Amino acid sequence: MHDTLSSNVGEEPSAPARGGQELTIAGRTLRSRLLLGTGGFPSLEVMAEAIAASGSELVTVALRRVDPRARGSLIDVLADAGVGLLPNTAGCHTARDAVLTARMAREAFATDWVKLEVIGDEDTLLPDAPELLLAAEELIDDGFVVLPYTTDDPVLAKRLADLGCAAVMPLGSPIGSGMGIRNPYNIALIREAVDVPVVLDAGIGTASDATLAMELGCDAVMAASAIARAQDPVAMARAMRAAVEAGRLARGAGRIPRRTYATPSTPDIGLADFDQGGVELS
């Protein structure tokens, strides 16, 4: 009776929130724990508004062939927004392509930070673990600050952190699926397995998913499609900002354990006894 169920994921009552309010990755301090993807917005104007509403200070960009007919400069809009750029290697399927793309990004954007993606399957866009490890090692040797998009496998996350990655970015569920965090146990295990920041990446569908990620102990959340493809991206950006803050606060506060049976929230002491003295209540 009154057993605590075994689902204590992310519920260690004494678990302190790691670090202060600010997030530090590779010596760089970010006041916001929400990272934004720039893909999928209906326009650059909406993207800029959503970035402002989210409070994010770091946003991802991809690298693609110059289109002379393209209108508006993404770089200029992001510079005006005052955010840092985190180039990704989206679309790369081999370590070789990802490494070259990262080097191109370093040249184009004058940053040695890279969100390393090496995709192994077109339908699920799941990471290719062996290629990811190869690319991470080569880029770290080349002086990059590597933030790898990885599966929710604690062992792989540990291997990436041991290589020298500045953070790990495990997926909650496939990119753009909006399925939330399918294996919260593994996300909590990753938090325990590595000493670098854990940034929940991919799968976030709505605000509660971001809150859960933070409650599980993640240091930050990356949201892309969940905001950009929402019916009202600016409102969703605002919601995500609040959700990340709420989850972080709840994690630090230490939630109560789950129990099968009720525990009264009002004490019995001093409870009136209306059956004594022959009083009948109807």
What 3-state class would DSSP assign to 124? coil
Binding test (CB under 8 A) with another protein, winner from 50, 105, 181, 214: 105
The full DSSP string for 253-275 is H-PPPPBSS---SS--TT---TT
Nearest distance, CB of residue 60 and another protein, angstroms: 6
Tokens coding 199: 């940034």
Q: Distance of CA 32 to CAs 92, 170, 215, 243, Å?
A: 28, 19, 16, 12
Nearest distance, CB of residue 222 and another protein, angstroms: 8
For residues 139 and 153, what is the distance between their CA atoms, to the nearest angstrom?
21
Q: Is 104 in the site for another protein (CB under 8 A)?
A: yes
Nearest distance, CB of residue 47 and another protein, angstroms: 7
Q: Angle 162-163-169 (CA atoms, 0-180°, nearest 5)? A: 80
Q: Is 124 in the site for another protein (CB under 8 A)?
A: no
Active-site choice (33, 106, 115, 238) = 115
Q: Is 51 in the site for another protein (CB under 8 A)?
A: no
Residue-wise burial string across 178-190, b where 16 or more C-beta atoms lie within 10 A, e elsewhere: bebbebbebbbbb
Residue whose CB is less far from another protein, 61 or 161: 61
Binding test (CB under 8 A) with another protein, winner from 32, 38, 173, 211: 38
Q: Is 234 in the site for another protein (CB under 8 A)?
A: no
Residue entry with tokens 């399927």: 93
The footprint of another protein (CB under 8 A) covers 37-41, 47, 60-66, 68, 73-76, 78, 85, 87-88, 90, 100, 103-105, 107-109, 175-176, 202, 222, 224-225, 228
Q: Active-site residues: which are they?
A: 115
